[in-house]
Structure 1
């Protein structure tokens, strides 16, 4: 639950102090696990996961709410908030959609135990005590969760009491209060073996006789997917998520390979949902929700539902997507392909269908395609394809394909059944050509509407619309009487943004209206973005001074000419690598990408790169330069112990240059990276 950058340092310091204190009285400290930056990865085939608990709990991934991502330890975290969330679960239909747990995170207790060693709820936050809150939540036919740590203190800097050495007493209190779910964190663990710490609490919970779902939050450090399925019901596989595309993407990539270890009663947990907290777009939040569902991940809402928008509720309450997550077969989706940031993941469902996610990692639209056979369906004349976000069904001859908007996900459910003919054919839309527009200059585009169904699409009509004031003209036919399977209607267009249009992203929408052979009306819609850009100046320019097309970042925003501060814009410090201070550059945090429009007029990109000195010894990153989708320069993995490294790339003829920083393969922990003195020559 804690920011991985702070908890790593604090844990190791406390472990060292404990060892020193024990040695002074002639005792031996427990062996402290060696620091490791190894990436999360599945065990070899000869290391199977342990058997699952046989207690009938968490047979599908837990669904509910946790306050941490929206309130932390703020004053707004209190009894009234918790009761209000329970009320909203009922009033907004979230309970009916499957959300069940209302979970308290850190800061619910006083900093000290009472004279009997018991935990004491904070009377200012919870004047009625935890049992009263649990009773209220139970009165709504919901369940209550609570939090503590497998250490002497929790992860909060205030140092609330942890459960290490108090497992049976604390578990008894939780059970007596009516707690239904325990999140057990990893801070201040004094180097005690992870399996021992978490197994002791498992036994303590079992001894209470109360059914309590047990969530292990040890950040994936000891690969719990290999040993914890008979210890807990879910286990964190990564460090903490933040409300940014880069963070979500990094965690997604770490959790996706762990498919073999999930199942009924034992789940990989890539951390809570950030949907609605404001750091991502609704398109990105739909991807977040889609991919957590395809991974059979716990769905724990992390936004304050009292302030949530209608769009947030629409995402969280999508019952067709939730059904993918909650499928009783309990399989985590597997990655079939990921080339070029075009991800295909498929999940086997109990009814024999497949849920398929077409996920676009990149900052521009991409076509992503697979087939019914490739996702594991048997050969058939045709298939039913259900779009789970548009809530519409089509027939397909076997192709599963879409042009997926930047950072978007198309989530479908495909089945081989005999009812496919009642649905209209799937029509795939595409738009080729420049999505980069200089104001006042016409750009040529070509749209395609392709029949992917087994039946013909009839009376097809396509349209392309742009913002008010933009000129959009068709230069070839926009209609077709019929499109047989595999045939396409291609239309040429010119698009012109008015002179003086400000730089930025603008919406375009491509539509195809058509009918099935039985007269059923259907429509395919492709939302896209066009970026209004300006040509870079001639000569040499610092990239920190130029406008960018787009950015993604692991923590906080990309910073111009300062380091990354992880929170709001402008909170960075002077860029410093290897003791050298730079006045110009970009401060980022892995996973990060910064795109620039170069208009085929530039030649080189140069920079000195490295991990900023402000971070501890655990930061590891790698830098890449891409030109129009081709990697043209890269470094190896760089650490805080290394001075700045020069990087240079020939980008001659490229329209777009992308600066990428990866996490070095070990997750985003202290990965403050600098593009120092980064220059573009044109």
Structure 2
């Protein structure tokens, strides 16, 4: 559907949901995955060309490249790991050639490296590549995945499970999209109770068609908000744009999933890759690397290992995303897939986070007044930490300008309160509109 239609539908749905007397669905606080998951996913680099060697190699690179040390702990297998048919007893069967040693052996080796293992299935009859899905086998499959030793489940939406293919649930379970995903969520919860083991981390891959940010938080750790990402700036910018209107939905135990990281893939420039990673991290999306780690460059590896950015993603005191305070190129609240919102801010336990994105094809200065962010106090000065140069850049008083930001580049800042602003910093009001003295006269400079 068109961007305006999607935005209007989202706004109306949100108004309807929050205006009802019934309580709003809360994020599922089940003791697992309070923070966005960090790890690796096989799909973008390998698609169906996976086997146990590929998966274990990715796990070993996560350790040897130091990714696990900075928080990347999950190694997730995507589609195509199974035989085309279930066993005579009804179970999914791992491909006997590509995973000849068995899934238990695979997850044992992953766990021995101090990592966690993830698996994939689908809410329909089949997966997106037409391997067995979990429809009407949710409890059976959840138990199988746990018995295999997996910790995480990505649950897709293909083969008769989407808005555009409404069968089979209309005629069999007579449920909409919420009820269909609830089947696996219930199976996971029931299994945790009966087994005494932690529940599988449940990642819903519903593509955003039916606004999962409004309902999926009661079921799982994360929910996809868009279609699949592509390894190019146009795709990255479009996903940032779409998520700018729903950034409010992310908090502890529930996260907008902006899809797999393409850092090091395709046509992304170095500055575009930095923007991609920064936006995903500061918007509290899961960070799942989709690159062939055997060929990743040092500069792209450094992007993924930026510990100051990761600290915002993994903040265990503040779970909310940065949100736009000014769109910049466009009037506020206007959807534009090529020029998303440029000026963002949010809270963290260590200060106010700012993200500035140059959506132009040429360098640009990005200027803002500090109090445009709701998290900044008037009449105060703020120390400025650049989260990419890793430098302390003095103090900001009232305004800040990032100079010559590269095309499609990003600036990430952490501002900390440094006390009252210096005397004579300017007019009595940082923003002059309706700046009135106690006697009712306009203040100087207003």
Same fold (TM over 0.5): yes
Measure the CA separation in 1 of the matches of 2:137 and 2:108.
25
The answer to whether 1:88 aligns with 2:61 is: yes
The answer to whether 1:346 aligns with 2:341 is: no
The answer to whether 1:104 aligns with 2:77 is: yes
TM-score, normalization by structure 1: 0.55
The answer to whether 1:177 aligns with 2:145 is: no
CA contact (8 A) 2:274 2:303 kept: yes
Alignment RMSD (CA, Å)? 2.2
Measure the CA separation in 1 of the matches of 2:398 and 2:150.
48
CA contact (8 A) 1:218 1:235 kept: yes
Give the match's secondary structure for 1:339.
Answer: coil
Give the match's secondary structure for 2:239.
Answer: helix
Alignment partner, residue 337 of structure 1 = 326
Highest relative contact order (Cα 8 Å, sep 6+), 1 or 2?
Answer: 2
Structure 1 gaps of 5+ residues are: 1-34, 421-452, 456-483, 487-682
CA contact (8 A) 2:124 2:134 kept: yes
Q: Deviations over 1:557-584 (max 9, x none)?
A: xxxxxxxxxxxxxxxxxxxxxxxxxxxx
Return the offset for 1:374: 2.0
> Quick check: which one's strand share is greater?
1
Alignment partner, residue 406 of structure 1 = 407
> Quick check: which one's helix share is greater?
2
Q: How does 1:460-479 map to 2 (within 5 A)?
A: none
Q: Deviations over 1:357-413 (max 9, x none)?
A: 110111011211223322222235421111011000122223222131110001111
TM-score, normalization by structure 2: 0.82
Measure the CA separation in 2 of the matches of 1:309 and 1:120.
36
Alignment partner, residue 415 of structure 1 = 416
Return the offset for 1:454: 7.1
In structure 2, the CA distance between the partners of 1:365 and 1:64, relative to structure 1 (3 Å rule), is: same
CA contact (8 A) 1:256 1:295 kept: no
Bigger Cα Rg = 1
Give the match's secondary structure for 1:203.
Answer: helix
Measure the CA separation in 2 of the matches of 1:228 and 1:298.
15
CA contact (8 A) 2:83 2:94 kept: yes
Measure the CA separation in 1 of the matches of 2:313 and 2:346.
9
Alignment partner, residue 369 of structure 1 = 367
Which of 63, 69, 77 aligns to 2:44? It is 69
The answer to whether 1:39 aligns with 2:6 is: yes
Q: Deviations over 1:316-345 (max 9, x none)?
A: 000001112222211111111122247101
Measure the CA separation in 2 of the matches of 1:278 and 1:238.
19
In structure 2, the CA distance between the partners of 1:393 and 1:168, relative to structure 1 (3 Å rule), is: same
Q: How does 1:244-263 map to 2 (within 5 A)?
A: 244-263=232-251
Give the match's secondary structure for 1:373.
Answer: helix
CA contact (8 A) 2:355 2:413 kept: yes
CA contact (8 A) 1:61 1:267 kept: yes
CA contact (8 A) 2:14 2:214 kept: no
Q: Deviations over 1:624-673 (max 9, x none)?
A: xxxxxxxxxxxxxxxxxxxxxxxxxxxxxxxxxxxxxxxxxxxxxxxxxx
CA contact (8 A) 1:358 1:369 kept: no
Give the match's secondary structure for 2:253.
Answer: coil
Measure the CA separation in 2 of the matches of 1:72 and 1:301.
13
Measure the CA separation in 2 of the matches of 1:288 and 1:485.
36
Q: Deviations over 1:240-264 (max 9, x none)?
A: 1110111111111111111221110
Return the offset for 1:485: 8.9
Measure the CA separation in 2 of the matches of 1:417 and 1:81.
50
Q: How does 1:482-631 map to 2 (within 5 A)?
A: none
In structure 2, the CA distance between the partners of 1:310 and 1:238, relative to structure 1 (3 Å rule), is: same
